[in-house]
Structure 1
Amino acid sequence: MKILILGGSQFFGRKLVQLLLENNDEVTLLNRGNHADGFGEKIKRIICDRTDKTAFEEAIKQDYDLVFDLSCFDFEQAKHACEVFNGRVKKYLFTSSISAYVERNDHLSEEQFNPLDFELANKVGRKEHYGEAKRQAEISFIKFATFPVTSIRLPVIVDAEDYSLRLQRHVNSIKNGLPLYFDNLQGKISFISADDAAKTLFELAGKDFSGTINAASAKPITLQRFIEIIEKITNSKFILAKQKLDNNVSPYNNTGDWCLHCAKLQSLGIKLQEIEDYLPGMVESIHRTG
């Protein structure tokens, strides 16, 4: 199949590319070219800033079987993608976020945010409000796309080589005795590994499914358990910051639970690793190299 990935040069995008190449698909990446992807002549590349509407339109010179959109963050980007790809793609997979849910609890099911029922107020960008921007992107695809769209709501994605360094920050802070602030260590959180994020996108592309779907490791863990895993591997003791400051708040901090319910994903036969199976290996890798 002819496949276009918007983004895809790093993190789980690179893992997705590898799966597609192993499946003998023809892969093209469209991005700004700021990061080397490492695939050499195995793939095609289009260097383009999608926020430049004219350049984006001119860059798309052929039709595609699939488009994976890993770099859409707001209403206008989604709308413009629809204008570019309407009539030119058979299926479109968009990476949304757990942040699209207005409320946070331990059982976030797809029905708790239906883009069809959402009233669009003022348009926002990712820097203004990441969750609201992702909600609005989902709305935009429903409103303007004439092709089937699957919006995959992902939780916190973890990997030993995460460019955001969120997991690394936790490991290194605990290892070096630097306090971290959490509001509620008993709060549960959903994770997904970068490998499983790529696997989910790959497998959903082959399913007769469109609409919104959650994708996360089936069993969330408490932040306390997350810390215990790091403590054990680093042989260090976590220090809870007594006061909340700008520079000590955990990137995973939450006042309660923040967990995705993934019955729909499981009904499609997509099974993901449990957190307890992959997190220790990631922590060990960071500990060993850090």
Structure 2
Amino acid sequence: MDILIIGGSRYFGKRLVRRLLDSGHAVTVLNRGSATPPEGTTHLVADRNDEAALEKALGDRTFDVVVDQFCYTPRQAAVARRVFGARAGRYVMTSTVEVYGDGDFRAPVREEAVDPRTVAVDLELPWEDPDFLDEHYGEGKRQAEAVFAADPPFPYASVRVAHVLGGDDDFTGRLDHYVRRVRAGEPIAVPAVNHPATYVYVEEIAAFLAWAAEAEFTGPVNAHSDGTLTTADLCAEIERQVGGRTVFREVTDGPASPLSFARSYAMDNSRARALGFPFGHVSRWLARAVAETAGAR
């Protein structure tokens, strides 16, 4: 297949590209030129926010599948609908657990909790403002899903990705936050009641997205490993590998550490399983994820 990846030069995006290449697909990567994609790809340079530049870069190319790793706002989704409506045989958007908002997931949340076809879209919000976008990350993804889901011009799926761990190139710094503090015995700010969350290993989400590109399902799907982890689980594994000491400091007002949650934060991956993807359990990869992060620092 001819597959276009929008983004795809960092973290699990580059792993996705490598898996697709290894499977024999022709892969094109489109980005702004700030990062070089893996060898073996065709590289297109354009700002996806600039519709005219995007049209020019694509020319008359068409693709069996587009995997959009870099869609954060409904405006970006609207541009993509227009540009790829006649160019894509299938469209897969990388979304996020954050689309479920601030609800307390007392039972693992299923996809129907947020039906993008019922989500209101406001293209006039200041989506280009980095501070606004950062504060409304989940809402931006939710509205982007809604733009694609409304009478889509192509078969469309959105992959709601859990928090990703692992890799020596994890640029988020979230797991490293704990590695540094446990090593130094420094206090770690956590909520008084610190709830578990679902996670996915970096290689597993790359495998899932490669599988989703080749599949035919449509609509939203949750993507995460089986099982849950708490901050205490993460820190216990860090202590086991690097020594140090975990010191939790409860906070009731002010920010907690990343990946520490004052509410339950678990998704349900039964739809993905029913569709045929066999997720593994977090216990199978947690030690590896910690080793990769700790070893890179």
Same fold (TM over 0.5): yes
1:130-171 C-alpha deviation (Å, 9 max, x unpaired): 011111000010126310110000010112321112111211
Q: Which moves more between the two structures, 132-141 or 102-111?
A: 102-111
Asked whether the 8 Å contact 2:72–2:141 carries over to 1, the reply is yes
Corresponding residue for residue 120 of structure 1: 121
Q: State whether structure 2 residue 173 is matched by structure 1 residue 165.
A: yes
Query: 2:156 corresponds to which residue?
Result: 149
Q: 1:139 to 1:123 in 2, by over 3 A?
A: farther
Distance 2:25 2:257 in 1: 39
2:271 corresponds to which of 240, 243, 264: 264
Report the CA distance shift for 1:147/1:262 in structure 2 as closer, same or farther (over 3 A): same
| Matching residue within 230, 233, 249 for 2:256 | 249
Equivalent residue in structure 1 for 2:235, among 206, 223, 227 = 227
1:58 shift after superposition = 1.4
Question: Secondary structure of 1:127's partner?
Answer: helix
Of 211, 216, 223, the residue aligned with 1:215 is 223
- In structure 2, what is the Cα distance between the partners aligned to 1:212 and 1:68? 14
Give 1:14's aligned amino acid: K
- Matched letter for residue 139 of structure 1: A
Give the aligned CA root-mean-square deviation in angstroms.
1.8
SS at match of 2:295: helix
Q: Distance in 2 between matches of 1:211 and 1:33?
A: 31
> Would you say the 8 A contact 1:189–1:223 is kept in 2?
no
For residue 249 of structure 2, give the secondary structure of its aligned residue in structure 1: coil
Q: Are 1:9 and 2:20 an aligned pair?
A: no
**What is the distance in 2 between the residues matched to 1:128 and 1:286?**
27
CA distance in 2 between counterparts of 1:283 and 1:244 reads: 28
1:200-220 Cα offsets, whole Å, 9 max, x none, are: 111122222000100101211
Does the C-alpha gap of structure 1 residues 124 and 157 become closer, same or farther in structure 2, counting only changes over 3 Å?
Answer: farther
**2-side partners of 1:177 and 1:9: how far apart?**
35
Q: Which moved more, 1:84-93 or 1:165-174?
A: 165-174
Instruction: Tell me what 2:95 maps to.
Output: 96
Cα distance in structure 1, aligned partners of 2:36 and 2:186? 33
The DSSP-based 3-state class of the residue aligned with 2:285 is helix
Partners of 2:115 and 2:48 lie apart in 1 by 27
- Cα distance in 1 for partners of 2:35, 2:52 equals 23
Superposition map of 1:19-168 within 5 A:
19-37=19-37, 39-40=38-39, 42-61=40-59, 62-102=61-101, 103-105=103-105, 106-120=107-121, 123=125, 125=127, 126-143=133-150, 145-160=152-167, 161-168=169-176
Q: Provide closer, same or farther for how the CA distance between residues 196 and 184 of structure 1 changes in structure 2, counting only shifts above 3 A.
A: farther
Q: Distance in 1 between matches of 2:113 and 2:163?
A: 19
- Aligned partners of 2:190 and 2:250 also within 8 Å: no
Q: Give the drift of 1:257.
A: 1.0
Distance 1:276 1:94 in 2: 28
Normalised by the length of structure 2, the TM-score is: 0.91
AA in 2 matched with 1:224: A
- CA-CA distance at 1:48 after TM superposition: 1.1
* Distance of 2:271 and 2:32 partners within structure 1: 34
- Quick one: distance in 2 between partners of 1:124 and 1:270? 38
Aligned CA distance change for structure 1 residues 120 and 269 (closer, same or farther; 3 Å): same
The amino acid across from 1:110 in the alignment is E
Amino acid at match of 2:142: R
Q: Deviations over 1:185-205 (max 9, x none)?
A: 641111111111111111122
Gaps of 5+ in 2: 128-132
Change (3 A) 1:169 1:2: same
Compare 187-196 and 143-152 and name the one that shifted more: 143-152
1:282 offset after TM fit, Å?
1.9
Query: Hey, what does 1:204 align to over in structure 2?
Result: 212
CA distance in 1, matches of 2:274, 2:140: 29
Q: Which runs of 5+ in 1 are unaligned?
A: none
Q: Distance in 1 between matches of 2:192 and 2:226?
A: 21
1:144–1:51 CA distance, 2 compared to 1 (3 A): farther
Counterpart amino acid of 1:187? H
Q: After the TM superposition, which of the residue ranges 141-150 and 22-31 deviates more from structure 2?
A: 141-150
2:192–2:250: 8 Å Cα contact kept in structure 1? Answer: no
How far does the alpha carbon of each residue in 1:20-46 deviate from its partner, in whole angstroms, 9 at most, with x for none? 111111111000121233x23x11101
- How far residue 128 of structure 1 moved from its aligned partner, in angstroms, is 3.6
